[in-house]
Amino acid sequence: MSRKPLIAGNWKMNGTLESGGALAQAVADGAADAACDLLVCPPAQLLYPIGRALAGTPVQLGAQDCHAEEKGAHTGDIAAPMLSDIGCSHVIVGHSERRENHGETDGTVRAKAEAAHRAGLIAAICLGETEAIRDAGKTNSFIIGQLDGSVPEGSTAANTVIAYEPVWAIGTGRTPTPAEANEVHALIRSHLSDRLGADECAKLRILYGGSMKPGNAAELLAQPDIDGGLIGGAALKAEDFLAIAAAAKG
Ligand code: 13P
């Protein structure tokens, strides 16, 4: 089964109209050469202008979070249908920074992924262990728990991507070895196969995130169960982001 790689940039809380606009334009300018799908996830205030700038290009637009409900008294939040209304195709849910900084549980993440699905968005569901969990040799059971808690019934290869992001690798310059990362990706695929079906999971894209850079992308992306990347810091430089995309062969 060949899965077209997806290289996604999570810009986190970075970018102004000027700097974000220039970054999106530079990504779009390099997109024609990419053999993979490209997605940028700017901060909320840039979604609309960048969506307009990307219209007609192959670069897709994603948000970094959504609320689980469709509307109502939730000051500061954005609902999934609002994101599809302005042209988003994807939304990241359950990033470890939101789990940590906003107290999001697996249940919250699952409800947000369900809201994304209802709104016709692709949910990029993030999970990953802390260093303490890895050191305790409990990575596999922890990941299985997060999958069971965070991935809703009805998830398919068309409405979901999974991002495995070991917390200890995010923004640290450290990564698992490609084989170690692939081991967790293979576990994710086989565990979800039992729930969602083997055919669906053979098509499901599982991204790696955590200090992916031009220098390590090719060896990570060459692993059989690593189907792309969710890039933080290196997504803020178009040159680096496009170099990672160039390492993702279809
Ligand atoms: P870095 O690439 O900066 O480690 O961030 C990864 C990440 O958190 C993407 O969602």
> What CATH number is associated with residue 34?
3.20.20.70
Domain count, the chain: 1
User: Percent of the chain scored above 70 by pLDDT?
Assistant: 99
pLDDT (average), residues 223-227: 98
Q: Give me the DSSP letters along the chain.
A: -----EEEEE--S---HHHHHHHHHHHHHHGGG-SSEEEEE--GGGHHHHHHHHTTSSEEEEES--BSSSSSS-TT--BHHHHHHTT--EEEE--HHHHHHS---HHHHHHHHHHHHHTTPEEEEEE---HHHHHTT-HHHHHHHHHHHHS-TT--TTTEEEEE--GGGTTTS----HHHHHHHHHHHHHHHHHHH-HHHHHH-EEEEESS--HHHHHHHHTSTT--EEEESGGGGSHHHHHHHHHH---
For residue 1, is pLDDT > 90? no
Burial of 250 (0-12, 13-18, 19+ CB in 10 A): exposed
pLDDT (average), residues 11-31: 98
pLDDT of residue 169: 98
Q: Which of 100, 129, 170 gets mutated to test ligand 1 (max ligand atoms within 8 A of its CB)?
A: 170
Is residue 127 one of the residues assigned to a domain? yes
Contact 114, 149 (CB under 8 A): no
pLDDT (average), residues 119-126: 98
Residue position matching structure tokens 């409405």 = 159
pLDDT of residue 111: 98
- Please give the number of the atom of ligand 1 that sits closest to the Cα of 210: 4
Is residue 194 one of the residues assigned to a domain? yes
Count of C-beta atoms within a 10 Å radius of residue 50 = 28
The reply to whether 191 belongs to the active site is no
Residue 211 in contact with ligand 1 by CB distance below 6 A: yes
Is residue 84 one of the residues assigned to a domain? yes
Instruction: List 33's β-bridge partners, or say none.
Output: none
Residue position matching structure tokens 């196969």 = 193
For residue 114, is pLDDT > 80? yes
Is residue 69 one of the residues assigned to a domain? yes
For residue 250, is pLDDT > 80? no
For residue 249, is pLDDT > 90? no
- Please give the number of the atom of ligand 1 that sits closest to the Cα of 12: 10
Domain of residue 155, residue span: 6-247
The reply to whether 165 belongs to the active site is yes
Q: Of 95, 97, 117, 185, which one is the catalytic site residue?
A: 95
Residue 233 in contact with ligand 1 by CB distance below 6 A: yes
Question: Which residue's CA is the nearest one to ligand 1's atom 1?
Answer: 232
Cα separations in angstroms, 131 against 82, 166, 174, 246: 36, 8, 11, 30
For residue 148, is pLDDT > 60? yes
> pLDDT tens, 47-77?
999 999 999 999 999 999 999 999 999 999 9
Is residue 1 one of the residues assigned to a domain? no
pLDDT of residue 33: 84
Phi, psi of 130 (to 5 degrees): -80, 170
> pLDDT tens, 185-204?
999 999 999 999 999 999 99
pLDDT (average), residues 117-146: 98
pLDDT of residue 2: 81
Considering the chain, what is the average pLDDT of its residues? 97
Q: How far is the CA of 173 from the centre of ligand 1 (A)?
A: 10
Q: How far is the CA of 72 from the centre of ligand 1 (A)?
A: 31
Q: Confidence class of residue 32 from pLDDT cuts 50, 70 and 90? A: confident
pLDDT (average), residues 41-51: 98
> pLDDT tens, 158-185?
999 999 999 999 999 999 999 999 999 9
